Amino acid sequence: MLLPEPRFVDTDGARIAVYEAIPTGVPNDVCVVLCHGFPELAASWHRQLQPIADAGFHVLAPDMSGYGLSTGPEDRTAYSIAENTADVAALVRDAGFEKAVVVGHDFGGMMSWWTPYLQPEVVAGVITLNTPFGYIRNDPLEKYAELYGPDNYVAYFQTDECEALMDADVARTVRFFFRRDTGQGTNLSRSGRHDPESMAYIHWLKDDEATWPGEVVMSDEEMAFYVDAYRRSGFGGGLNWYRSIQNNWRVHNRLFPDGRIPRQSIPALLIAARHDPVCAPQLTDDLLQYFDTFERRVLDTGHWTQLEDPDGTTALIVDWLTRHF
């Protein structure tokens, strides 16, 4: 069985499915929340749950709002970092903890960077996989259109057409996204660059599957879990996180109207992926300006870090947690 049975936590606007692992002895007084990205599920952390618990931490891996067995707001633009970090804080309190280490990958990585600013009372530390800090000073939809043209994936993610395309054949969509590079890139980037062709990658979903580079990175069990989950829920909830990115921009600018972001005193770890064209390691070179205590470690993976190197990912997380907490 890939994951334990979830329990459900009602937050303001969502009912969140939470998968847990609890240590056998007295748990550390800091819990760990694992936040997945797009189009992942809590299951993307299934190989980290028990090892982190074995290290003495109560671990929570939610299906984020709108994903999997979790519900989300009816308003498709109400999935900003304000709402989603509030969900994380609610999960921490519901589990009986005052503080958590917030761990995130991909869009979940934006959650881990921003929870200390939006929910500072519940954050003891952060671990982020791959994702740059991601401060948005300008309207992201306008900026992406300016840099990458009207076919960029963020623009297409706003549309009902994209949602229908992804929902039409769920197994095919999962195979499209979750691929390992075998020499010619993946469907996230065939050139390894942030160029207009790569940033329009989602349109390759319409092409013959034989033209897709790379190989599926999931096991048969993982694939079956994802396909079953998305056949039930569809991809709309995950796409709503992208439909809310203008609200992220508004949140950022309300929080820091002068563009000056204060440094954090909590410890932070960035696990970079050497071969990730979406979140390249060099995009995280600026993180020392945001955290007094910061480490960066690099794994020899592409974008799907926990799937491509689960043992390496787990080892880095557990080592850092046990040193700091």
Model pLDDT, residue 189: 94
Domain match, 13 and 123 both = yes
Domain match, 16 and 73 both = yes
Overall average pLDDT of the 116-125 stretch: 98
Overall average pLDDT of the 200-211 stretch: 98
| pLDDT higher than threshold 90 for residue 282 | no
Q: Which of 236, 266, 282 lies at the terminal end of a domain, its last residue?
A: 236
pLDDT interval class at 110 (50, 70, 90): very high
Angle at 192 between CA 48 and CA 245, to 5 degrees: 65
Domain match, 131 and 261 both = yes
Q: Is residue 195 part of a domain?
A: yes
| pLDDT higher than threshold 90 for residue 193 | no
Domain match, 300 and 284 both = yes
pLDDT interval class at 28 (50, 70, 90): very high
The domain tally of the chain equals: 2
Domain match, 208 and 147 both = yes
pLDDT interval class at 266 (50, 70, 90): very high
Q: What is the CATH number of the domain that holds 94?
A: 3.40.50.1820
Domain match, 21 and 124 both = yes
Model pLDDT, residue 1: 84
Residues 313, 129 contacting (CB under 8 angstroms): yes
Least confident of 112-116, 223-227, 280-284: 280-284
Overall average pLDDT of the 216-240 stretch: 98
Overall average pLDDT of the 225-238 stretch: 98
Whether 208 is catalytic is no
Q: Which of 205, 236, 267 lies at the terminal end of a domain, its last residue?
A: 236
d(CA 306, CA 312): 8
Q: Is residue 246 part of a domain?
A: yes
Q: Is residue 197 part of a domain?
A: yes
Overall average pLDDT of the 176-180 stretch: 97
Domain match, 178 and 250 both = no
Model pLDDT, residue 281: 86
Regarding pTM above 0.85, the answer is yes
| pLDDT higher than threshold 90 for residue 277 | no
Q: Is residue 320 part of a domain?
A: yes
Q: Which of 236, 267, 293 lies at the terminal end of a domain, its last residue?
A: 236
Find the catalytic residue in 46, 58, 87, 106. Answer: 106
Q: Is residue 71 part of a domain?
A: yes
Domain match, 116 and 149 both = no
Of 178, 165, 243, 250, give the one whose Cα is nearest residue 212: 178
Domain match, 44 and 117 both = yes
Q: What is the chain's mean pLDDT, rounded?
A: 96
| pLDDT higher than threshold 90 for residue 278 | no
Q: Is residue 1 part of a domain?
A: no
Model pLDDT, residue 223: 98
- In the chain, the percentage of residues whose pLDDT exceeds 70 is 100
Least confident of 42-51, 89-98, 274-283: 274-283
Q: Is residue 185 part of a domain?
A: yes
Domain match, 100 and 144 both = no
Whether 303 is catalytic is yes
Model pLDDT, residue 57: 98
Cis upstream peptide for 39 (omega within 30°): yes
Domain match, 281 and 162 both = no
| pLDDT higher than threshold 90 for residue 66 | yes
Domain encompassing residue 225: 140-236
Per residue in 68-81, pLDDT (tens digit) is 999 999 999 999 99
| pLDDT higher than threshold 90 for residue 140 | yes
Domain match, 14 and 89 both = yes
Q: Is residue 2 part of a domain?
A: no
d(CA 320, CA 292): 16
Overall average pLDDT of the 264-270 stretch: 97
Find the catalytic residue in 58, 276, 303, 309. Answer: 303
Overall average pLDDT of the 137-161 stretch: 95
